Amino acid sequence: MDMLTTKQKFINFPLTRIVFGLIVCFISFILAQQLAGKMLDLTTLNKNYRNLIKGIIASSAVISAYIYFFEKFEKRNIKEFSVKGIAKSIIIGILIGAVLQGLTVLVIVLTGGFELVSVNSISNMITPFAIAFSVAIFEEILIRGILFRIMEEKLGSYISLLISAIIFGALHLANPNSTIISALCVGTEAGILLGVAYICTRNLWFPIAIHFAWNFVQSGIFGAITSGNEKNSSLLTTKITGLPVITGGEFGPEGTIQAIAFCFLASFILLQLCRNRIIKPFWVVKSSIL
């Protein structure tokens, strides 16, 4: 009986759930991506469509792994991937992400740093589309679905928002052309916004949609650098020049002052709309009960 109690305590311990969840989901995504890539390379499909199918397979694998693992490990229904209200969450999320990215680029246009070189085929958006949705699903599961959600149970919403935002920004330091400033930008704008988006709906579809739209509009439509990575094919071939504080330099528009301003404003508005969903730290809840 004591052994079972000790085992149960270990399983329910937040750090245990975080570590095991991250490992399971990370491995599921990477393995599915690599296996799908090898199999698709044997076909005669166009590279764009191979990337699209690979993204769908990897995303499906990581979602399935998350649902299966936490259903068994936490013994609950996985409401964060419920289909109830999924259309509303995705549509509104895409609109928010697209508008925020559009406003960020608009500032670059108004300051004379945006040059349109050419308009390309719609097929040029397939690969950035696949990358945007698979990265959004993968990162939101790891950061908001596992890290933030489990920390929030004990530490409350605000502290968990801060910690997860710092971690999210720090992870981008591994990207090419990243700096401390660009990591702070990502953490401040996206880390907080996407965490608040999860709080508002308590599902992952909403932050996934915002994340996807932000990245896709940035890289797939405007042809801008995304998080310091190399440019992919895009609908528009563009040239962005000017002060790094406005253009993001070699890191891309995510590392700009206007991106921080617009995303922080969106975070503030969303937070006001869902204040009743804020979770207090366990020590505050405990003291109020006593």
- Average pLDDT of the segment spanning 249-266: 94
Confidence class for position 26, pLDDT limits 50, 70, 90: very high
> In angstroms, rounded to a whole number, what is the distance separating the alpha carbons of residues 127 and 118?
18
Output the pTM of the full model. Answer: 0.94
> In angstroms, rounded to a whole number, what is the distance separating the alpha carbons of residues 113 and 281?
45
Q: Which residues contact 141 (CB under 8 A, 6 or more apart)?
A: 25, 62, 63, 66, 204
Q: For the segment 163-220, what is each residue's pLDDT rounded down to a tens digit?
A: 999 999 999 998 888 889 889 999 989 999 999 999 999 999 999 999 999 999 999 9
The secondary structure element, H or E, covering residue 236 is strand 236-240
Q: ∠ CA 18-22-26 to the nearest 5 degrees?
A: 175
The radius of gyration of the chain's CA atoms, rounded to the nearest angstrom, is 20
> In angstroms, rounded to a whole number, what is the distance separating the alpha carbons of residues 41 and 131?
17
* Number of helical (H) and strand (E) elements in the chain, helices listed first: 13, 2
